Chain A
Amino acid sequence: MSYGYSGKLLKVNLTTGEIGKESLSEETMRKYMGGKGLVYHYLKDSVDKNTDPYSEENPLYFMTGLASGIPTGGTSRMVMGTKSPITGGFGISESGGFVAPELKKAGWDGIIVEGRSEKPVYLLIKDDEVQIKDASHLWGKGNGEVNDIIKEENNDNSIKLSQIGQAGENQVQYACVINDLKHACGRNGMGAVMGSKKLKAVAIKGTVGINFKDKDKITEISKWYAKYQKDKPLSKGLYLYGTAAGVEGFDKSGILPTRNFKDGSFEKAKEISGQTMADTILTERGACFACPVRCKRVVEINKENIKVDPKFGGPEYETIGSMGSMCSIGNLDVIAKAHEMCNDLGLDTISAGVSISFAMECYERGIIDKEITDGVELNFGNEEALLKLIKDISEKKGLGKVLSQGVKKAAEIFGGGSEEFAMHVKGQELPMHEPRGKIGVGLGYSVSPTGADHMQAAHDTMITEEGPMLDSVRMLGLDKPADPMAYGKDKAEFYALMEKWWGFLNMVGMCDFIPAPRGSMPVDKFMELINAATGWDVTPEECMEVGERGITAARKVNYDLGIDESHEELPKRLYQPLENGALKGESMDRNKFIEMKQYYYKHFGWDDKGYPTEETLERLGL
């Protein structure tokens, strides 16, 4: 008998209508622990260089991890996977919420979706009763409405839902998958692939439950953690002000991406901060499954000119940056509206915001004009234009059609030197973290298998000095703090170690706001939790190896798909000076950066082109 996971994956073929199951051995689960590890395990033999991401040959995965569903907090993560239409390589995107725990409660560790349906469908999973249901009446509708209809027609308000909006139906490259209206598998184009399969939603109701080895221990740790985290500054900050608690700090430090990464400081940072949100439009502090931290926001606006429905939650830091400071918009009401629209239409707020910001810069520089913008004065700060473009992108209409392909493609179309400030890596737009003030984040954007991504490793502003935070992760092998502005071997090692740890958290299904170093749960306590769930004897060393395996596996898939070192270029703008803020004049040093990347490759046992050596692949069982 397996504990902490069921040992089975649901397998659905939308072309043939077949519904089956795939067994998951203990050996495989111990090797990968879930998440992107399982994505690798199945994706590696399913796609090749020639696979069109929108074809029926490209599978789509919904994977949980060993921790998903343990009722402690942070244990909510789901990882989606596919061949990404954005990067053409190993694609994953993770989300919190309730879908992963519900899927596990239904007795499944994940879902493998193959093929493509002729007509719109949705998947209804009630434990092991699984149906492919007609969704013709849902096609063309937004996530909010579809959520209500599916719950109503199945007479069950407690169903959990992964959905695509019109952006996914129209295969907008960065369409995302929205979970229960408030959480997003935002990146890498999961919604576009789901749309190409004509799969409108996955609706889940689980009643079987998860079999844990030591339930008493889990209850003990859960109770302890709920109390312990309360007065810790991070938990407190997240509870009070959400992920946007740091907007003012980022701004004062000169690392708040502003006006398409031209600037590092935004004059209206205070107006769009988590603190202002708490004082104005916040109505509730929400949470993912069983989480006492409650960092999720719920906002509501009922003004004559702007209304925002609380059922879509509220904007997080990434959305506030991408729709706010990046577009020079200092109006929280408008940002909340943009968030609501993106969640309803199913658009990644980061890529959408960066694409619009890019277009605003192109307009201000005269690279595009009113003929292209459909008469709109597309200057930075134009609130109406922001909201119009979100809609147009989801419908692939006018300028929105160009921007729906992301900034890499848009720069090719616009020309005029705009590629210099097209802020992407491997085709994926940069998240709201400024590499010129966090050099390790720049390394991360470059080497990440999924393109620019802030979720790969702890950022270098996190452990900048000796003290409790460094002490909390010494057992993972980290023995030095990081200077955010430094390059070199130490920085490469800091990043690599933290990437292994966060890689493991992704695989095991844990939110990185909970365990050390970012969160307050000590590493050994987290090990106790995993072992109580599984009955295993997992150690930090084993977890670091699992994380390393996930990173190397993703790299191997990418190289096999033709995504190699030549795709690791950072946007040229990062080698140019920031134009304002505390870091005015700072730019990245390309030679030092390339040298640091070599240290990083060496750390992992990859060759100087970044490909894992035979010895490394063998050591990791790949």
Chain B
Amino acid sequence: MIIEISDIFLDQKDSKNILEIQLDKPKKIIDILEEIGVKNLGYANFYLNDRKVNKNNIAKNQDKLTVLPIVGGG
């Protein structure tokens, strides 16, 4: 699956914003992100194939997951 993630959720400076991984079976979004080392997810919104979902939704290999922050103001 393809994961596109805002760099504000990435701890390592050299982490990639877009990555492709292979899932051995469908998994919860939160588990997938934890497996790739993304834990600090305050203010994250999750989108599967551009549809807003929550972190417990199941993702499959052919899905595209996008993780974006939600913040506004000023």
Residues of B close to A469: CB separation below 8 A:
42
Residues of A close to B62: CB separation below 8 A:
none
20 extra A-B contacts, CB within 8 A, seeds A245-B69, A275-B6:
A231-B11, A232-B40, A233-B43, A234-B42, A234-B69, A234-B71, A236-B8, A237-B71, A243-B72, A246-B68, A246-B70, A248-B68, A249-B70, A252-B47, A253-B52, A254-B52, A318-B73, A432-B72, A455-B73, A513-B73
Q: Are A454 and B8 in contact (CB under 8 A)?
A: no
Q: Are A317 and B52 in contact (CB under 8 A)?
A: no
Residues of A close to B25: CB separation below 8 A:
none
Choose among B9, B55, B66 the residue that contacts A233 (Cβ–Cβ < 8 A).
B9
| Distance in Å: Cβ of B57 to nearest Cβ of chain A | 12
25 sampled A-B residue pairs with Cβ under 8 A = A231-B11, A231-B40, A232-B40, A233-B8, A233-B41, A233-B69, A234-B69, A237-B6, A238-B71, A242-B74, A246-B71, A249-B45, A252-B45, A252-B50, A252-B52, A252-B68, A317-B71, A318-B72, A318-B73, A318-B74, A461-B70, A468-B42, A469-B42, A582-B50, A582-B51
Residues of B close to A248: CB separation below 8 A:
68
Choose among A241, A250, A254, A318 the residue that contacts B8 (Cβ–Cβ < 8 A).
A241
B47: nearest chain-A partner, CB-CB: A252
B17: nearest chain-A partner, CB-CB: A275
In Å, the complex CA distance between A317 and B71 comes to 9
Residues of A close to B44: CB separation below 8 A:
233
- Per-position 1/0 for B4-47, Cβ under 8 A of A: 00111101000000000000000000000000000011111101
Which residues of B are at the interface with A, using a C-beta cutoff of 8 A? Answer: 6-9, 11, 40-45, 47, 50-52, 54-55, 66, 68-74
State which residues 432-483 of A face B: CB under 8 Å: 432-433, 454-455, 461, 464-465, 468-469
Residues of A close to B52: CB separation below 8 A:
252-254, 582
> Does A319 have its Cβ within 8 Å of any Cβ on chain B?
yes
Residues of B close to A242: CB separation below 8 A:
74
> Does A316 have its Cβ within 8 Å of any Cβ on chain B?
yes
Q: Are B72 and A233 in contact (CB under 8 A)?
A: no
Choose among B42, B47, B51 the residue that contacts A232 (Cβ–Cβ < 8 A).
B42
Interface centre among B43, B51, B54 (most CB of A within 10 A): B43
In Å, the complex CA distance between A133 and B44 comes to 51
Interface centre among A233, A234, A241, A468 (most CB of B within 10 A): A233
| Distance in Å: Cβ of A25 to nearest Cβ of chain B | 34
Residues of A close to B73: CB separation below 8 A:
243, 316-318, 454-455, 513
Q: Are A249 and B74 in contact (CB under 8 A)?
A: no
In Å, the complex CA distance between A231 and B11 comes to 7
> Does A167 have its Cβ within 8 Å of any Cβ on chain B?
no
A239: nearest chain-B partner, CB-CB: B8
Which residues of A are at the interface with B, using a C-beta cutoff of 8 A? Answer: 231-234, 236-238, 240-250, 252-254, 275, 316-319, 321, 432-433, 454-455, 461, 464-465, 468-469, 513, 582
Residues of A close to B74: CB separation below 8 A:
242-244, 316-319
Residues of A close to B43: CB separation below 8 A:
233-234, 237
| Distance in Å: Cβ of B47 to nearest Cβ of chain A | 5
Residues of A close to B72: CB separation below 8 A:
243-244, 246-247, 250, 317-318, 321, 432-433, 454
In Å, the complex CA distance between A461 and B52 comes to 13
* Known pairs A233-B41, A469-B42; A243 contacts B8 (CB<8 A): no
| Distance in Å: Cβ of B36 to nearest Cβ of chain A | 16
| Distance in Å: Cβ of B1 to nearest Cβ of chain A | 18
In Å, the complex CA distance between A7 and B39 comes to 46
Residues of A close to B71: CB separation below 8 A:
234, 237-238, 243, 245-246, 249, 317
In Å, the complex CA distance between A248 and B52 comes to 12
Choose among A250, A275, A316, A513 the residue that contacts B70 (Cβ–Cβ < 8 A).
A250
Interface centre among B8, B51, B66 (most CB of A within 10 A): B8
A472: nearest chain-B partner, CB-CB: B42
A433: nearest chain-B partner, CB-CB: B72
In Å, the complex CA distance between A253 and B70 comes to 9
B45: nearest chain-A partner, CB-CB: A249
| Distance in Å: Cβ of A221 to nearest Cβ of chain B | 21
In Å, the complex CA distance between A238 and B47 comes to 21
Residues of B close to A246: CB separation below 8 A:
68-72
Residues of A close to B47: CB separation below 8 A:
252
Interface centre among A231, A252, A319 (most CB of B within 10 A): A252
In Å, the complex CA distance between A236 and B50 comes to 24
Residues of B close to A464: CB separation below 8 A:
54
Choose among B54, B66, B68 the residue that contacts A465 (Cβ–Cβ < 8 A).
B54
| Distance in Å: Cβ of A513 to nearest Cβ of chain B | 7
In Å, the complex CA distance between A313 and B1 comes to 40
| Distance in Å: Cβ of B73 to nearest Cβ of chain A | 5
Q: Are B40 and A249 in contact (CB under 8 A)?
A: no
Residues of A close to B54: CB separation below 8 A:
464-465
Interface centre among A246, A318, A582 (most CB of B within 10 A): A246
| Distance in Å: Cβ of A354 to nearest Cβ of chain B | 15
In Å, the complex CA distance between A454 and B69 comes to 18
Residues of B close to A252: CB separation below 8 A:
45, 47, 50, 52, 66, 68
| Distance in Å: Cβ of A597 to nearest Cβ of chain B | 24
| Distance in Å: Cβ of A445 to nearest Cβ of chain B | 15
B44: nearest chain-A partner, CB-CB: A233
In Å, the complex CA distance between A242 and B72 comes to 9
Residues of B close to A465: CB separation below 8 A:
54-55
Give me the 4 closest cross-chain CB pairs, A-B, nearest first.
Answer: A316-B74, A249-B68, A243-B74, A237-B8
Residues of B close to A245: CB separation below 8 A:
6, 8, 69, 71
| Distance in Å: Cβ of A176 to nearest Cβ of chain B | 13
In Å, the complex CA distance between A237 and B52 comes to 20
A468: nearest chain-B partner, CB-CB: B42
Residues of B close to A250: CB separation below 8 A:
70, 72
